[in-house]
Amino acid sequence: MTIIITGANRGLGYATARILASDISQTIVLAGRDLHRLTLAAQQIQAFTGNTHLVPMLLDLADIATVRIFSTEFRNRNLSPLTTIICNAGISKPTVQERSADGFEIMFAVNHLGHFLLVNLLLNCLTPPARIIFVSGGAQDPAHAKGLMLPPRYVKAEWLAYPERDTSLPTDDAHAGAQAYANSKLCNILCAYEFARRLESSGLSIPGQPITVNAINPGLVAGTGLGRNEKALMRFTWYYMLPVISRLMRFGRTPAQAGSDLAYLATAPELACVTGKYFSGRDMVDSSAESYDQSKAVELWQTSIEMSQLQPEESHLLG
């Protein structure tokens, strides 16, 4: 069986891949932007686990064309049946000024739109029972918005992709960046729930042969690559101070701990038929009230189809 993990060369993705690779019958596709680092990660995981079925593959979620190339190349590899897609890759930026290859705000493009397209393109490769997991986070919930964290502000998806069109954005660009990140994490959950609903209503996911879709908050995993784009002081805090403080104060998780939770969602037999749910670690919990707004989920879905130029023949959910 084959598992795809995006952002698998470092942090949470790498930790999850290493745990899942301990089952040497599994083929693990390590997907990401840097093929050299992915190859090194695959070599390290093989040395640790003895698993020889580790496949590094180039995937740039900020470029719609390369997502399509990845989908085609994956099919051409003739790997074992695909059973799991873990949408883990994510970025955080201090501003909303950076754009993707297609002109969208970069956090929206990478954290949401690229994964939306990837999953749709690979639906016809999935062999049920199968699982799709979106890595979200506490930023999607206004209850967790403290300090520099801002709650999400979802008006319409167009404004998330083109924040300059939203005249009500925070005037402080750093705060706009924090809010854009929170928006992208809300999109992950809206997207997961909508995928779950559509897979069931279309008959692609049925009892006995389900394709489940869930989202997870891995907790604060300080020291990962998520902080690589912050300013110098924030980078120092993220990489050197928070990992120590969060573990001493017991409010954070190590990559190994969070990776173990993510691997659990991907493999636990008792979750084989659980779909459309949100997990904090291994606990099934409620996500934010806004994440259950089906009108926003549908609006995000339709806008994402247009922005990714997804065609009916490319996805079983559009036919």
Cβ proximity of 28 and 85 under 8 Å: no
Sign of the Cα torsion 115, 307, 187, 219 reads positive
Q: Rounded to an integer, what distance in angstroms lies between the CA atom of residue 142 and that of residue 148?
A: 13
In a 10 Å sphere around its CB, with 0-12 CB exposed, 13-18 middle and 19+ buried, how is residue 82 labelled?
Answer: buried
181 is catalytic: yes
CA dihedral of residues 240, 246, 247, 250 (deg, nearest 10): 180
Which strands, in side-by-side order, build the sheet including 54-58? 54-58, 27-32, 2-6, 82-87, 126-135, 211-217, 278-280, 283-285
The single residue listed with the structure tokens 């000024």 is: 97
Q: Are β-strands 54-58 and 211-217 bridged in parallel, bridged antiparallel, or unpaired?
A: unpaired
Catalytic residue among 181, 193, 278, 292: 181
Hey, which residues are catalytic here? 181
